Copies of this chain bind each other. A is one copy, B any other.
Amino acid sequence: MPGDDLYPPFLKHRNISRIEGNVLYITDRRKLPFSHEEVACRSASEAASAIKDMVTQGGGPLEVALNALLLTYRNGDDVEEAVRVLAASRPTNTTMSRTLCGIMERYRSGEDMEELVAGTFSYYDRLYDAVSDTGSSLISDGDGILTRCFPEHTFLLSVYKAARDGRRAVVYVPETRPYLQGARLTEPSLRALGIECYLITDAMNAHLMAEGKVDKVMTAADLVLSDRTVVNKVGTLSDAVTARYYGIPYYAFCLSPDTSRTADDIVMEERDGEEVKRMMGVRTASDDAVALYPAFDMIRPELVSGIITREGVI
């Protein structure tokens, strides 16, 4: 049975979020791997605030939102309102909001909320398993793979399954400023899975490619549009453009393309530039400096070699 057992520690469901009594505990990813702390939320709006504050990110908000919806239901609070505030907490990645809307539709037509949420968790476990089967099939023995940010279940399981089958890749992990998801989450997760990996700073992508160390670029995607436009952590566009120059393919993992939107009507989240002037609470620039923090890159289809889905590479 695929799922939780295979996941590295930071991705086990209970280590992303968990309900105990009437409290939702969210693991504070900003503190990993140095300490395991949880943020306690008693309502969907508290959970939405935690998501906005980057307590969890990537695929984390989806699981948090499922648990927050369940808690709201168990408390007899307004589930419609819960879905509204949760969906608004991450405007760019629309997987969470589309998933919540799908649940609500079935809930309104009489299905049981407990079963809907449990079924959604196991749906994603099966989806991660299927998508990573596709991802694994792209990896050859000895591949050097550049990734970006925290590419979570699909990428991590892909390199894990490939290694299990005798095709061992080496992964290069940009630290991913300002929140250091690469340094703090991806690198330890790969190491926990027994994968050889090297931490680099964010602008070493072209350097490694020029040295011939990178055979593939593979990242998660916060959003994939039906025309194969990929939206992912800022820096991914730099990876895709440099990969194109060096003749290296760029692949993005996709859980579910968003067929309802085009590049013109998605919301590209701009976060507060002040976040760029700190690192784990330590000041890295003058207080008077003005910093920019566009959180996401949009990678046009001409730079994307393939989208890795449960149905194969498209």
Q: Is B180 a contact of A284 with CB atoms below 8 Å?
A: yes
Q: Is A285 a contact of B198 with CB atoms below 8 Å?
A: no
Q: How many copies does the complex hold?
A: 2
CB distance from A169 to the nearest CB of B (A): 15
B-facing residues in A236-251 (Cβ within 8 Å): 237-242, 244-246
- A289 interfacial contact with B, CB 8 Å: yes
A239 to B297, CA, bound (A): 16
A237 to B211, CA, bound (A): 12
B-facing residues in A165-222 (Cβ within 8 Å): 172, 174-175, 177-178, 180, 183-184, 187-188, 191, 197-207, 210
List the B side residues contacting A201 at CB < 8 Å: 177-178, 202, 234-235, 276, 293
Give the nearest-CB partner of A233 in chain B.
B203
Q: Is B206 a contact of A241 with CB atoms below 8 Å?
A: yes
CB distance from A177 to the nearest CB of B (A): 4
A188 to B183, CA, bound (A): 27
List the B side residues contacting A259 at CB < 8 Å: none
Give the nearest-CB partner of A285 in chain B.
B183
Known: A175-B276, A198-B292, A277-B199. A205 touches B285 (CB 8 A): no
Q: Is B286 a contact of A187 with CB atoms below 8 Å?
A: yes
Q: Is A198 a contact of B290 with CB atoms below 8 Å?
A: yes
Partner of A297, one of B34, B207, B280: B207
- A314 interfacial contact with B, CB 8 Å: no
Q: Is B205 a contact of A238 with CB atoms below 8 Å?
A: yes
- A79 interfacial contact with B, CB 8 Å: no
- A298 interfacial contact with B, CB 8 Å: yes
Q: Is A184 a contact of B284 with CB atoms below 8 Å?
A: yes
A283 to B180, CA, bound (A): 11
List the B side residues contacting A205 at CB < 8 Å: 203, 238
- A288 interfacial contact with B, CB 8 Å: yes
- A267 interfacial contact with B, CB 8 Å: no
A187 to B290, CA, bound (A): 9
In this complex, the member of A177, A206, A273, A280 whose beta carbon has the largest number of chain B beta carbons within 10 angstroms is A206
CB distance from A156 to the nearest CB of B (A): 16
List the B side residues contacting A235 at CB < 8 Å: 201-204, 207
B-facing residues in A279-314 (Cβ within 8 Å): 279-280, 282-286, 288-294, 297-298
- A33 interfacial contact with B, CB 8 Å: yes
Task: Name A residues whose Cβ lies closer than 8 Å to a Cβ of B.
Answer: 33-34, 148, 172, 174-175, 177-178, 180, 183-184, 187-188, 191, 197-207, 210, 234-235, 237-242, 244-246, 273, 276-277, 279-280, 282-286, 288-294, 297-298
Q: List 30 A-B contacts (CB under 8 A).
A: A174-B203, A175-B177, A175-B276, A175-B284, A175-B285, A177-B177, A177-B201, A177-B203, A178-B201, A184-B285, A191-B286, A191-B288, A191-B289, A198-B290, A198-B292, A199-B285, A199-B290, A201-B234, A202-B203, A203-B203, A204-B234, A204-B235, A204-B294, A205-B238, A206-B240, A206-B297, A207-B234, A210-B237, A238-B238, A242-B242
